[in-house]
Amino acid sequence: MKNVLFYSPYMGYTGSEMMIKYIVSNAKKINPVILSGENGALLNEIPKNIPTYIHPDSVIWKYRLGRILKILKFPDLAQMQFKKIIKKHNIDLIVINTLVADKIFPLIKKFNKPFALYAHELPMMYDLNGIKKDLLDYLINNSTGIIGCSEKVCESMNLMGAKNVYKFYETIDINKIKQSEFDTVKIKSQLNNFSYIFAMSGQRAYHKGFHIVIEISKFLKKYNAALVWLGASNDYGLNFFIQKVIENNSIDNIILPGLLKGDEYYSWLNACDAFLLTSMVDPYPLVMLEAAYLQKPIIAFDSGGVTEFVKEGMGKIVPYYCVNAYLDAIKDFIDGKIPVDKELLRKEVEKHDITKKISEFEDILLSFIE
């Protein structure tokens, strides 16, 4: 079998990096190896038989040591590690996961190993993620192939002149959801004073739409409805601002459980009546698939790959960041004016099951090697 090195920048709980976990955990036609730019928590969930490495710059003392060694003209630590991985595992192909590739960029240029790009970003995200033009230009023009996580991502690659572009929609591990022990009754009992519960999920960040939760909560108050945001807290100003507004104005219909995983996460999601996707840009969100599998209709802005998934009977798409139209869509759902086909929601997600799609992904990678 061919040996494939997957580089991912953080290995945290983001959709693009969850994809690496799903892929390497289910791989049957390739031998995967992982190199992470940071010591992310998701590394703890990678099967023990898969070799994993952490870029030396992720550890402060190693980073400082690396700078000293560089001044003294000693070999670069990252280069030494990369060369060792390539040789030890006889790597045939490197897969760069996301365009956030600043740490691997100098390594692939120096060692000239064949690489493929697994792109999850739309152009609006390039500046947000600090993606520089030199890196983008090199990745597009020197990769053996590119995999885009949605049609819109593939279109953006093609518009920049990329060659050999394949579409592979994001997937989820349906078995993990099936095996979850839902405690929905307990959660609903905590929220039984509300007539409706709407879920949102993701980083508490501007590009995820966290800045409009106060406006949405005021609107929901009219209908005795609550808003649950499933996502980790952080030290940034927007999160602080929203929390202070909630505290100082005694807002009781915004619930922030924090970062949840596994059974607890799916229990909260399952307790809700509908899923609100408020992202300003989102190429193909995994949280959308998870909510749909739990048969929750989706209300979203036309902000990316969601339009490639949501069909009649699965929710409603409103014009890009028209908040008034979004609130109208929520009211339409409450009033029963949005048709919901629960079987269709689940059926569409079953097409995105990693156990059914892994062979297709591996075949794409193997075509890059051949």
**So what's the pLDDT on residue 74?**
65
Please report the domains of the chain, with CATH numbers, ordered by start residue: 2-171+354-369 (3.40.50.11930), 174-350 (3.40.50.2000)
Question: pLDDT for 117-166, tens place per residue?
Answer: 999 999 999 998 999 999 999 999 999 999 999 999 999 999 999 999 99
From the list 31, 304, 370, 3, the residue with the least C-alpha distance to 149 is 304
What's the rounded Cα separation, in Å, for the pair 151 and 172? 18
Q: Say if residue 182's pLDDT is above 90.
A: no
Question: pLDDT for 284-294, tens place per residue?
Answer: 999 999 999 99
Question: pLDDT for 310-360, tens place per residue?
Answer: 999 999 999 999 999 999 999 999 999 999 999 999 999 999 999 999 999
**Residue that the structure tokens 């909560």 belong to:** 217
Render 109-149 in DSSP notation, one character per residue: HHH---EEEEE---THHHHHTT--HHHHHHHHHH-SEEEES
Percentage of the chain lying above the pLDDT 90 cut: 87
Q: Say if residue 67's pLDDT is above 80.
A: no
The torsion defined by the Cα of 104, 109, 113 and 119, in degrees rounded to 10, comes to: 50
**Residue that the structure tokens 């009754």 belong to:** 185
